[in-house]
Amino acid sequence: MATAHPSTRLRRLAGVLGPLLLVVAALWVYAVLPSASVLHSRATARAPTVTVAGLKAPTPPAIPPATPPATPPATPPASAPPPAGRTPPPSPTTPGTTGRRVTGPGVTEPGIRISTTIAADGTLQVSERVRVASEIGRLELAPPDLTLAGDEFSGAYPSATQLRLAVGGQPMALTFSALTAPRAIVLGLPVHTYELRYVLVGASVRSVPSKAGRALAALGPVSQSLPPPSPVVLVTRGKAVRNLSCPLLSGNEVACSDGVRGAMSVREPLSLRSALVILQLDLPRP
């Protein structure tokens, strides 16, 4: 039997080993490379990326925000004191202080309320508010009779000038503007309240001899539509009034002033029959 040449045997061995090596290599690739792919995927999952200007950079681990310290409740600021020399604004008006709602005779009750301010020449600017118990359609008016005020007024003949009438807050036209004698006004409707405004002239006299500027004035209501017992209140405004007296009262009641200078009034309501008040005045020198 002929023996094969050595080169022939090598070629046969290579023909057998070549395919075998290819099979082994294929098996190695199949077993090893998937594991590497899985490892690479796991590494990629642990480090996500964000894109910044076209580049990919690892995202730093998130840091939880610090919890801010608890803030104590705010304390409202205290009111600052007013600057020195400045008076703080007045508080809202309360009952019993200036500016309160006016009540009493002539306003909320039957009667008359007279308010007067003294002008520099001694004339009296008067507001007379009247409320009656039962409706009336006719007003009786008359200048005050000053003959009972004392000898100083024996020659006084007062008259109410610039007379105006308002009913229910609405002005009413009068056919006259001066009241020098008793007159009646017939209204077109029954009323419970009305107001007269006028300037009383001829009701003041200079005190002679006395300190310059001292004078006396006398005042009573011009409304005569109420029963004689009806109450009358008189209040004054302005520091020209120094004192009040009521000559038709008796004893200690004659000195009837109340309040302070600038805001004096009669101490108690007067009845219509005794409603005559003397005002002691300080007027500018003539």
Nearest residue to 207 (alpha-carbon basis) of 242, 161, 257:
242
pLDDT of amino acid 94 = 34
pLDDT of amino acid 259 = 92
Q: What is the pTM of this model?
A: 0.65
Structure tokens at 278: 């003397």
Q: How many CA atoms lie within 13 A of 135 on its CB side?
A: 8
pLDDT of amino acid 108 = 95
pLDDT of amino acid 118 = 93
**Sequence-ordered list of residues with C-beta below 8 angstroms from that of 85, at least 6 positions apart, any chain:** none
Work out the angle at residue 125's Cα, subtended by the Cα atoms of residues 121 and 128, and round it to the nearest 5 degrees: 155
**Sequential pLDDT tens for the chain (286 residues):** 455 555 666 666 666 666 667 765 656 545 544 444 433 444 444 434 333 333 344 444 455 555 554 554 454 444 444 444 444 444 333 333 345 788 999 999 999 999 999 998 889 999 999 999 999 999 999 999 999 999 999 889 999 999 999 998 899 999 999 999 999 999 988 999 999 999 999 999 987 766 778 899 999 999 999 998 999 999 999 999 999 999 999 999 999 999 998 899 999 999 999 999 999 999 876 6
CATH number of 111-282: 2.60.40
Nearest residue to 137 (alpha-carbon basis) of 187, 184, 73:
187
pLDDT of amino acid 284 = 79
pLDDT of amino acid 52 = 34
pLDDT of amino acid 181 = 96
Burial 74-83, CB ≥16 within 10 A → b, else e:
eeeeeeeeee
CA distance 232 to 127: 13
CA distance 240 to 213: 10
CA distance 181 to 224: 12
CA distance 211 to 207: 8
DSSP class of residue 238? B
Three-class DSSP category at 245: strand
Q: Tell me, rounded to whole angstroms, the distance of Cα 180 from its chain centroid.
A: 45
